[in-house]
């Protein structure tokens, strides 16, 4: 279309989206890097202290603990959600009644608020009234009963089943639609060559949807770094920071200890770490894909 006659329209049409997006997503990220240089309690004067906050973060054992926990989440997502979803997708990509029903069931947690998911699992894990310990007891496995969320050695691992449970549906649907896009002839040719089910999966289906798997891995990483609600509801980062994530560490520093500058510095660290992780994963998976 002719540009000159529509110039005003172009500017006018882009402006609202650009303004809202810049003001509420982009500027805050820049700002928090800037606030990170200040010592500020939220009220009164902010004092410039240079890179002190950033140095303190790097020396804070809680930060390293949070980072490690975030990595555990990322690993659980990449090596838990993706393979489970892939296997389920292969089993469920045809459309009979039972398969459709299971598909919908597995996807259902995706439409619920993380608050509700966290609360349901909190009840499942409850040491006295929780159905998990009750189940173990009725199976005669009393010695397996644990304080799932308040034992600081296992609490972080107790958070993984709800994490995996709630997101498998998303990857399942993504993989199913990718599998359905593989042309039928490819499978026919493989059948003539005598390839078995597993063989077909490893040498045909997986390579053919590798691009989709890559996207899923990026989603896993950014999704796991975003997990805040689940942990905030279930453990608030405790006991004794055992389940602290970068996001809860940021939240607690800012809104519990009222250290706005320090919290902003953590926010900046989160952005840097997630961009680094996504970059690395892109690099790793695209190399593997070329082989």
Partner 1 sequence: MLSIRKIRSSIFWAILIGYGIVTIYPFFWLIISAFKTNEDFYSRPFGLPMNWQWENFTRAWESAKLGTAFMNSLIVSLGSLAVTLFIAALASFVLARFQFRMKGMIMAFFVVGMLIPIHSTLVPLFILMKQIKLLNTYWALILPYTAFALPTAIFVLSAYLMSIPKDIEEASFIDGTGVWGLFLKVILPMSLPALSTVTILSFLHSWNDFSFALVFISKTSLKTLPLGIANFADGYQTDYGLTLAGMTISVIPTVIMYLIFQEQVMKGMTAGAVKG
Round to whole Å and give the CA distance between 197 and 187: 10
Residue 53 CB, shortest distance to partner 1, in Å, is 12
DSSP 43: S
* H helical segments located in 77-183: 82-92, 97-107, 114-125, 131-138, 155-158, 160-180
Stretch that binds partner 1, among 21-29, 49-57, 73-81, 185-193 (CB under 8 A): 21-29
Report the SS3 class of residue 38. Answer: strand
The CA angle 12-14-16, to the nearest 5 degrees, is: 80
The pair of structure tokens assigned to 232 is 């905030």
Distance between the two ends of the chain, CA-based, in angstroms?
43
Residue 113 CB, shortest distance to partner 1, in Å, is 4
| Contact of 51 with 37, CB cutoff 8 Å | yes
Instruction: Decide whether 156 or 171 has the Cβ nearer to partner 1.
Output: 171
Site for partner 1 in 139-158 (CB under 8 A): none
Residue 96 CB, shortest distance to partner 1, in Å, is 12
Instruction: Decide whether 7 or 199 has the Cβ nearer to partner 1.
Output: 7
Instruction: Decide whether 155 or 269 has the Cβ nearer to partner 1.
Output: 269
Residue 275 CB, shortest distance to partner 1, in Å, is 7
The pair of structure tokens assigned to 189 is 């040719």
User: Would you count residue 31 as binding partner 1 (CB under 8 A)?
Assistant: yes
Round to whole Å and give the CA distance between 248 and 255: 10
User: Would you count residue 48 as binding partner 1 (CB under 8 A)?
Assistant: no
Chain centre distance of CA 35: 26
Residue 69 CB, shortest distance to partner 1, in Å, is 14
Instruction: Decide whether 234 or 291 has the Cβ nearer to partner 1.
Output: 234
Which one of 9, 64, 79, 144 is in contact with partner 1 (CB under 8 A)?
A: 9
Which one of 79, 83, 95, 113 is in contact with partner 1 (CB under 8 A)?
A: 113
User: Would you count residue 114 as binding partner 1 (CB under 8 A)?
Assistant: yes
Inter-CA distances, 183 with 47, 187, 221, 262, Å: 63, 8, 30, 53
| Contact of 289 with 217, CB cutoff 8 Å | no
Residue where the block lists tokens 């970068």 = 246
User: Would you count residue 39 as binding partner 1 (CB under 8 A)?
Assistant: no
Residue 87 CB, shortest distance to partner 1, in Å, is 8
Round to whole Å and give the CA distance between 64 and 290: 34
Instruction: Decide whether 153 or 183 has the Cβ nearer to partner 1.
Output: 183
Which one of 44, 59, 97, 111 is in contact with partner 1 (CB under 8 A)?
A: 111
Instruction: Decide whether 18 or 206 has the Cβ nearer to partner 1.
Output: 18
User: Would you count residue 78 as binding partner 1 (CB under 8 A)?
Assistant: no
User: For 57, how many CA atoms within 13 A lie in the half-sphere containing its CB?
Assistant: 22
**Interface size with partner 1, residues (CB under 8 A):** 89
Residue 251 CB, shortest distance to partner 1, in Å, is 7
Residue 114 CB, shortest distance to partner 1, in Å, is 6
């Amino acid at each position: 279309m002719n540009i000159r006659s529509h110039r005003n329209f172009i500017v006018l049409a882009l402006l609202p989206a650009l303004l809202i997006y810049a003001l509420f997503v982009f500027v805050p990220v820049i700002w928090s890097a800037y606030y990170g240089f200040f010592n500020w309690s939220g009220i009164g004067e902010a004092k410039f202290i240079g890179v002190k906050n950033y140095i303190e973060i790097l020396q804070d054992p809680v930060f390293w603990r949070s980072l490690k926990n975030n990595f555990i989440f990322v690993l659980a997502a990449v090596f838990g959600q993706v393979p489970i979803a892939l296997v389920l997708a292969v089993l469920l990509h045809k459309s009979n009644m039972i398969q459709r029903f299971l598909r919908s069931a597995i996807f259902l947690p995706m439409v619920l608020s993380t608050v509700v998911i966290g609360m349901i699992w909190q009840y499942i894990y409850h040491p006295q009234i929780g159905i998990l310990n009750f189940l173990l007891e009725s199976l005669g496995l009393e010695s397996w009963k644990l304080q799932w969320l308040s034992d600081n050695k296992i609490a972080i691992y107790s958070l993984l089943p709800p994490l995996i449970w709630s997101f498998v549906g998303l990857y399942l649907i993504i993989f199913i639609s990718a599998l359905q896009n593989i042309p039928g002839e490819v499978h026919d040719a493989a059948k003539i060559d005598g390839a078995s089910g597993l063989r077909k999966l490893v040498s045909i289906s997986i390579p053919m949807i590798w691009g989709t798997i890559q996207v899923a891995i990026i989603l896993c990483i950014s999704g796991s770094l975003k997990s805040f609600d689940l942990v905030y509801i279930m453990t608030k980062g405790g006991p004794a920071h055992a389940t602290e994530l970068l996001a809860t560490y940021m939240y607690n520093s800012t809104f519990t200890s009222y250290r706005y500058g320090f919290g902003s510095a953590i926010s900046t660290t989160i952005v840097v770490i997630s961009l680094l992780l996504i970059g690395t994963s892109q690099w790793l998976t695209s190399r593997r894909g070329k082989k």
